[in-house]
Amino acid sequence: MPYTKRRRLVSSAVAVTLGATAIAACGSSSDDGEARSGPVSLTYWTWTPGMDKVVDLWNKGPGKKEQITVTVKKQASGDTLVTKILTAHKAGKAPDLVQAEYQALPTLVSNDALADIGDTVGGAKSKFAEGVWQQTTLGTDAVYAVPQDIGPMMFYYREDLFKEYGLTVPATWDEFAETARKLKKAAPDKDLTTFSANDSGLFAGLAQQAGARWWTTSGDKWKVGINDAATKKVADFWGGLVEEGAVDNQPMYTPAWNKALNTGKQIAWVSAVWAPGTLTTAAPGTKGKWAMAPLPQWNEGESSTGSWGGSSTAVTTDSRNKEAAAKFAAWLNTDGEALNALAKEGGIYPASTSAQLSGAFTSPPEYFSNQPDFYKKAAGIAETTAPSAWGPNVNVAYTSFKDAFGAAAKNKSDFTAALDTMQEDTVADLEKQGFGVAE
């Protein structure tokens, strides 16, 4: 029997496998070849619908002149994409350009996946609100991305039902609580809104509005302030409302939630500028009955909001044509024609301030045709976005939030304890990853 031959085959196969693993373990070796002459082709990972059509404008216009061709590879959004980018980066195969949510930027930068494109895109700074631009610099002199879309938070409510129950639009969070109680008295089977623990971005935005700074640096160490006074205030406020039963405690984005919005069982929603799109599918029967107002404030006379969602365009360190890629990123997010197409094809709300009132944003979203000044109001609110402070393990804090607050909301138990859990989990993970953490 040819067993010797077989054995040799097996052993060499094992050797090849081990050898290859060893090579892979050596890490990535990315060539840093800068801007070559001649035609350049770039790949771009993005989840924005219709991005291929926007990129066509570049490939046929400015890109053709500069001989820079961009190819879109459509991806699914979310934390998993960050993992995918980092895995590809480990093999030195990340695409030239990636779409990344603001809170993912520190994770990508701390893994050395994003290039500093300040030299090429630095001039675009004036096109964006300061709080937005600051998220792409991470407080350094470098620029790691160009802002694309933002999600300033707003208060949405059923205009007709507010009138029916004699409610006024709350200007402060105290009034918000009063409104919730008043509705409960008038219609015990209805809720003003729900506290949902299945999207951490909402809570992060509310904390941001209150002035929380979850991740800061002191020296070369990270400082985690998830259970700081501002966030505690937000957690206590919502925990109190849930405990007394003034608001519902069921998660959003479920069929039951859609139904509650569609049938008027829940008559308001703390959301962001992209809410019209969500409401169109969640509550198609109540079109034209909703209205938008600024988020309630913590103190009377203030005007500040948080952000929920939003993303940027970044250039990876694996790119061999970083300058060309940065040129495209700047065009995509500052050029009027590009932004108009992005709004039309992708339904995004642009970060660029000049685009917020032009083109697609001169008329209200179809669902809000009853509020003609929707986007004018939105642009005003966007200006008041509080600064945010993201760190390298937002995903861990977010997961911890979902677990701890999910349980606390369900059991109507102490939200402060849940917040402490979130703080502890986040600090423990930072330490495990080898970051220095200041007390």
Q: Which is nearer to another protein, 246 or 270 (CB)?
A: 270
Nearer to another protein, 237 or 349 (CB): 349
Least distance in angstroms from the C-beta of 14 to another protein? 9
Nearest approach, Cβ of residue 50 and another protein (Å) = 9
* Residue 23 Cβ vs another protein, minimum distance, rounded to whole Å: 6
Closest CB to another protein among 4 and 299? 4
Q: Report the half-sphere exposure of 50 (CA within 13 A, side-chain side).
A: 13
What's the residue count for the chain? 439
Per DSSP bridges, beta strands 146-158 and 307-315 are antiparallel
Q: How far is the CB of 419 from another protein (least distance, A)?
A: 24
Handedness of CA 404, 415, 167, 364 (dihedral sign): negative
CA distance 147 to 312: 4
- 281 exposure class (CB count in 10 Å sphere: 0-12, 13-18, 19+): exposed
Q: Are 45 and 80 contacting, i.e. CB atoms less than 8 angstroms apart?
A: no
Applying CB under 8 A, the residues found at the interface with another protein are 1, 3, 6-7, 10, 17, 20-21, 23-24, 43, 45, 47-49, 73-78, 80, 84, 87-88, 90-93, 95, 149, 151, 201, 255, 258-259, 262-263, 272, 274, 277-278, 280-282, 284-285, 308-311, 346-349
Name, in order, each residue with C-beta under 8 angstroms of 169's C-beta and a sequence gap of 6 or more: 155, 157, 162, 293
**Least distance to another protein from the beta carbon of 437, Å?**
27
Task: Return the number of the residue (16 or 186) whose C-beta is nearest another protein.
Answer: 16
Sign for the CA dihedral angle at 123, 128, 131, 136 comes to: negative
Q: Which one, 296 or 310, has the nearer CB to another protein?
A: 310
Least distance to another protein, CB of residue 374, Å = 15
Nearest approach, Cβ of residue 312 and another protein (Å): 12
C-alpha dist (Å) from residue 87 to 24, 44, 74, 83, 394? 12, 16, 17, 6, 18
Complex with another protein: residue 19 or 123, whichever CB lies closer: 19
Percent of the chain that is helix, strand, coil (3-state, to 5): 50, 15, 30
Q: Tell me how far, at minimum, the Cβ of 74 lies from another protein, in Å.
A: 4
The nearer residue to another protein, 95 or 225, going by C-beta atoms, is 95
Find the helix packing angle between 415-432 and 394-411, rounded to 10°. Answer: 160
> Considering beta carbons, is residue 39 or 49 the nearer one to another protein?
49
The whole-angstrom separation of Cα 58 and Cα 64 is 7
